[in-house]
Amino acid sequence: MDAIALRRGADAPEPIERPRPVPDAGEALVRTLRVGVDGTDHEVLAGTHGTVPDGEDYLVLGHEAVGVVEDPNGTGLEAGTVVAPTVRRPPNGDPNDYFARGAADMAPPGATLECGIDGAHGFMAEYFTAREEFLVELPEALAEYGFLVEPASVTEKAVEHAYASRSAFDWAPESACVLGNGSLGLLTLAMLGGYDRTYCVGRRDRPDPTVEFIESLGATYVDSREIPVDALGEVHEPMDFVYEATGYARHPFEAVEALAPGGVAALLGVPDSWTFEVDGGRIHRELVMNNKALVGSVNSGREHFAAAADRLVNLPTAVLDDLVTDVYGVGEFERAFADDETTIKAAVEFHNQ
């Protein structure tokens, strides 16, 4: 079968031929429909994130997938069910405490592999296998856009954790700002509900499809080349909620300034080491005197996949149509990895239902 992989030492994806996998006991065989491409895939290609599985020459790419159960193979799943796979798998196939508790998303990096990213093959292949516990049933309506469930689940978790940090008092957020107009930032902007005003920070000149998408949602585009994140409060308004999806290491510190009293910033980026100056006294004081919080979050659990699926089926289809700008067949997979300014979200299609 066709698969798309990154060879050890290479920096671009390539097509490979692999045997169709045979599910082990407890695993189902899934026919892959579509697999999305995101910033993490580009980090994997660049070699700044992730690893090829031990003892292998390549890593099958892809961690945002939707598929259909081809062979339940004795699991509780039914053939034909639309599913999305979760991303984390136990090292050496041996479930540690995090996996045993169903809390793999809380595992530190050393206690987990990540399919398509770190030490385990991903889903960019015509078929893949997974244990039932790693497959989340999706509504039929998400056969097309179900590859968005994984990134949406990452947002569900981050928002859940950030909001939890505000649950000890009566928090009534009115303003939210997403840092980053990449696909995760824009998907998150579309998912955020209940705010009077939303903002999204990017670094693009108009006309630009991401700016159009932001404005189509009724949100305000902020160009951080003109208005730095720490000036958001002054120029626009202090933000009750900030969602960082840039991986720009200054943003958590600048976000403290951008937050309204009682506000929280959810952090999702994974930058490399970078030493710079901050007014640490001011950041510390601001966090304390205004009851602010910074909450880091990575990955997601089954419950976040379920919440994400719920959220996505309730979004207008037009929003998802606008977000997913490119879907390519396997023969054109390279185009899904193009990092150009007309692409918002691209996916590779392996089967059409």
- Residues in the site for a copy of itself, rule: CB under 8 A? 101, 103, 105-109, 157, 160-161, 164-170, 247, 249-253, 261-262, 267-298
Closer CB to a copy of itself, residue 197 or residue 250? 250
The gap from C-alpha 263 to its chain's centroid, in whole angstroms, comes to 23
Residue the block writes with tokens 């002054």 = 234
User: How near is the Cβ of 141 to a copy of itself at its closest, in Å?
Assistant: 28
Phi then psi for 46, rounded to 5 degrees?
Answer: -75, -10
Closer CB to a copy of itself, residue 182 or residue 247? 247
Closer CB to a copy of itself, residue 115 or residue 324? 115
- Give CA separation, 333 vs 12, 122, 246, 284, 347, in Å: 11, 15, 25, 47, 8
Closer CB to a copy of itself, residue 211 or residue 293? 293
DSSP assignment of 211-222, as one string? HHHHHHTTPEEE
Closer CB to a copy of itself, residue 33 or residue 192? 192
Question: How many degrees, rounded to 5, is the angle at CA 219 between CA 214 and CA 220?
Answer: 90
DSSP 336: H
Tokens of 54: 């031990």
Q: Say how far apart CA 327 and CA 335 lie, in whole Å.
A: 9
User: How near is the Cβ of 171 to a copy of itself at its closest, in Å?
Assistant: 9
Q: Using an 8 Å Cβ cutoff, are 61 and 41 in contact?
A: yes
User: How near is the Cβ of 255 to a copy of itself at its closest, in Å?
Assistant: 10
> 119-120 and 127-131 as β-strands: parallel, antiparallel, unpaired?
unpaired
Residue 198's beta-bridge partner residues? 176
Q: Using an 8 Å Cβ cutoff, are 98 and 106 in contact?
A: yes
- For residue 283, the surrounding DSSP H or E stretch is helix 280-289
User: How near is the Cβ of 5 to a copy of itself at its closest, in Å?
Assistant: 24
User: How near is the Cβ of 253 to a copy of itself at its closest, in Å?
Assistant: 6
Closer CB to a copy of itself, residue 66 or residue 229? 229
DSSP 34: E
User: How near is the Cβ of 282 to a copy of itself at its closest, in Å?
Assistant: 5
CA atoms lying within 13 Å on the CB side of residue 135: 29
Closer CB to a copy of itself, residue 146 or residue 151? 151
Closer CB to a copy of itself, residue 34 or residue 166? 166
User: How near is the Cβ of 111 to a copy of itself at its closest, in Å?
Assistant: 8
Closer CB to a copy of itself, residue 221 or residue 248? 248
User: How near is the Cβ of 285 to a copy of itself at its closest, in Å?
Assistant: 5
Nearest C-alpha neighbor of 190 from the set 158, 164, 217: 217
User: How near is the Cβ of 120 to a copy of itself at its closest, in Å?
Assistant: 17
Residue the block writes with tokens 């006309």 = 207
